[in-house]
Amino acid sequence: MADRAVKIVVIGGGPGGYVAALHAVRHGADVTLVERDLVGGTCLNRGCIPTKALLAGTEALAHARAGNEFGFEVTGEVRPDLTRMMERKNRVVTQLRDSVEVLLKKAKVDVIRGTGRLGKGLTVSVETEAGGQTVQADKIIVATGSEPARLPMFEFDHPAILTSTSALELLTIPKSLLIVGAGVIGCEFATFFAELGTEITMVEMLPQMLPLEDKRISKQFQGLYRKRGIQVLLKTKVDRIDEYAQDYVVARLSDGSTLSVEKILVSVGRTPNSAGMGLEDAGVRTDGRGYIVVDDHMRTSVADIYAVGDVNGGLMLAHVASHEAFVAVDNCFGRDRVRDLRSTPSCTYSHPEVASVGLNEEQAVESGFQPITGTYRFAALGKAIAMGEDAGYVQLVVDNRTDLVLGANMMGPHVTDIIHEVAVAIQNGLTAGQLGETIHAHPTIAQALMEAAHDVHGESVHISKTGG
């Protein structure tokens, strides 16, 4: 191997796979990327990017409707055109996918269009439209991703039953929509369709919306959704579908009630794309759900085979897949790098946005810290008030003994952007004092972080203190 480039075969071209391929080339590897569908994976083609393009459309729609508040008048009816929104979404996706294709071409990555399957002796057999071929590798990185989970009670062949993928192809606005699952995906689609005028009901079997977020934020978030007319039923699930009709379905809920809606969106998680790719024959261990088992070096149970992204069952986020891709490639070159997810942000692009990183207060206690918090409300922040986006707050979680920043929970305008300031603080061991002493431009949304850092020690001059 010392006399030639390391041969790395990457199976899957999503944010884990194509990033691994490009990073490996930068380090001198000879890289083959096997992709059976579209480069960019779910995130670029059927997830992160298309949903954000659509949400940008409804955000513009909401601003147009708010002319009286901001001092302008829109003549004529302001109404959505879902077909044109979808066309714009497709243009955005195509532009970004073409950019990735160009990067791979310029990097001289050998892209094979087909379905990859692990073989013996670090080989990958690829079934293509033209036939098949076998590629020999020194290292293999599996990055095949995941797809929406399909609960057996739903007939997904019926046009009324949607996944997050098929919902992105609708051309008419549903009059009513039942969203099964109030996690990140469900809440983002609720934001989108609510602005279009769809009557929305959400059911969540757990006791809070956004189950992975801080309980206080989830409760306030639910209240804001209810004010927008979105009905949220917690500790509730769909027991069965009583009737499939041409233009509606009737769902029976666990509380015994029935609900007739035009469409049902099932957003209850994802399942790995691991079946049929020869994992068992190659000796690669999976868990009971089909996820590939890896260590923190991204190594599987077979030497020189790695797995990154959704297929390994970790944090199912595009940015985590890309981080794991860097880790796996570095370890392909013997660099003993471990996955570090301490500063991984979690973002929900709803209205309002929700973001978190690190530990919330409850998790900090469970981890043995003595947490204290600092909070600043957007209702007191100049930039948020000027924008007309003053719902929500920023809360920092800090260790009382060391003043180290442990985490943050946020809800409000642009929090999916400013959360990264806290991620940097966690990753680099910064204290609340250091964060608060950093000059923040005025007026900005990020000032809320500075004020929250000051509030940790009761020093925010913009928070009124009572008592003597």
**Tens digit of pLDDT for each residue in 68-106?**
999 999 888 899 999 999 999 999 999 999 999 999 999
pLDDT at 467: 54
Residues 10-38: what's their mean pLDDT?
A: 97
Question: What percent of the chain shows pLDDT beyond 90?
Answer: 95
pLDDT at 3: 58
Q: Which CATH class for the 346-456 domain?
A: alpha beta
Checking if the pLDDT of 364 tops 50, the result is yes
**Tens digit of pLDDT for each residue in 184-208?**
999 999 999 999 999 999 999 999 9
Checking if the pLDDT of 1 tops 50, the result is no
Higher pLDDT, 246 or 296: 296
pLDDT at 468: 44
| CATH of range 7-147+272-332; options 3.50.50.60, 3.40.50.970, 3.40.50.300, 1.20.1250.20 | 3.50.50.60
CATH 3.30.390.30 residue window(s) in the chain = 346-456
What mean pLDDT value characterizes the chain?
Answer: 96
pLDDT at 77: 87
Neighbours of 290 (CB within 10 A): 15
Closest CA to 177 of 256, 259, 257, 253: 259
161-268: CATH topology is FAD/NAD(P)-binding domain (3.50.50)
Q: pTM for the full model?
A: 0.95
Catalytic, out of 63, 297, 442, 457: 442
User: Who contacts 365 (Cβ-Cβ below 8 Å, separation ≥6)?
Assistant: 371
Cα 101 from Cα 98, distance rounded (Å)? 5
CATH 3.50.50.60 residue window(s) in the chain = 7-147+272-332, 161-268
| Helices and strands of the chain, counted as H and E runs | 14, 23
Checking if the pLDDT of 2 tops 70, the result is no
Residues 120-136: what's their mean pLDDT?
A: 93
pLDDT at 256: 96
442 is catalytic: yes
